Amino acid sequence: MKETVLNKFKEVFGDTEGAKVFFAPGRVNLIGEHTDYNGGHVFPCALTIGTYGVARVRLDRKLRFFSMNFEHLGVIESSLDDLKPEKEAGWTNYPKGVMWAFGEKGFKVPSGLDILLNGNIPNGSGLSSSASVEVLTGFILREFFGFEVSNQDLALIGQFSENNYNGVNCGIMDQFAIAMGKKDHAIFLDTADLSFEYAPVKLENAKLVIACSNKKRGLGDSKYNERRSECEAALAKLQKVVDIKGLGDLSEEQFEEHKSVIGDLVKERRARHAVYENQRTIKAVAALKANDITQFGRLMNESHVSLRDDYEVTGAELDTLVEEAWKVEGVIGSRMTGAGFGGCTVSLVKDEAIDTFIKQVGEAYRKKIGYQADFYVVEIGDGPCIL
């Protein structure tokens, strides 16, 4: 891939003098969905697929962007003096947002850049291609301009830019998982205070298989922000009777005891998901530590049911992928991952069942949904790096 992106950079920008090659991973969340903005726990890991970038510093204020994933758009030009979100700027709003966010945090980007990107994360899949681009951009800026920021800072700046520049009310999980990734480990992160630990994911005779529904969804205009405000409304009601900062502070028992105060059945279901999903995530990490992969799989399944019935973010495509996965012998657990309404599922599948899984689930999906799903057998990888 390094040669491929360098050759393309040379073709697009004339030469490769002063250019460096970078990589930032995508991520998948194993369990703990829609808990990250509710002060709960998440359990994501970085993947070995992600975004490759070639970048070099310019002597002027000009920004030139090119994406091998959107070649038809050609080179998109901009300037450091004109960092504002624009619909027509398309994907470049993500790297530009990070440059703007660095400036807001007191790290003014001193000169322009030529940047070429090539991602092998399926587009619109919910494996965090946008957060991957954000962390990659931050990493590039730190490398070239010597900004004193940690990888954790890169995650926070990425989230700040997506919230305030791109207008997507995302939590911290995606950027954190990408910036802090560690090979063969998932990150058990408490989003309330950003305390975290690495938990080894030892999958003996099993692999993570991601199924991409190929149903596109846009985060900003999906019901994501709506779910957030429903949870905030439920939290406000609960806070009148119990001393909590977020829904993640509640045990299942506390929630059941006080839920009637919410006074709205839909908001009650949303809050129930946030509370129970957080507890499931804590139990899932304990199961992994005890090497009880069967229990981990069971909790993944329960997570999907909750996302389907209480949070209502799955839809026919994701439900079909998961329900068909559950029918295959050798599937330890399967659930939707990401924001929902399209995107991907993640399944734990025994090695000997992978081919059957892909064939059987793929055929059933095509028959029911009318187009095909794509499958990726993935590994857990490290965070951003220079290649």
To the query of whether residue 174 is one of the catalytic residues in this protein, the response is: yes
Strands 195-200 vs 113-119: parallel, antiparallel or unpaired: unpaired
| Beta bridge partners of residue 18, listed in sequence order | none
Strands of the sheet with 195-200, listed across from one edge: 41-42, 185-190, 195-200
Alpha-carbon span 117 to 263, nearest angstrom: 49
- Is residue 66 within 8 A of residue 116, CB to CB? The reply is yes
Alpha-carbon span 323 to 311, nearest angstrom: 17
Which of the following is catalytic: 36, 114, 174, 190? 174
Alpha-carbon span 293 to 254, nearest angstrom: 28
Q: Where are the beta strands (DSSP E) in the chain?
A: 20-29, 41-42, 44-57, 62-67, 76-79, 113-119, 185-190, 195-200, 206-212, 331-337, 344-350, 374-378, 385-386
CA 113 to chain centre: 26
Helices (H) and strands (E) counted in the chain, each on its own, are 11, 13
Burial of 68 (0-12, 13-18, 19+ CB in 10 A): middle
| Beta bridge partners of residue 54, listed in sequence order | 21, 116
Residues tagged active-site? 174
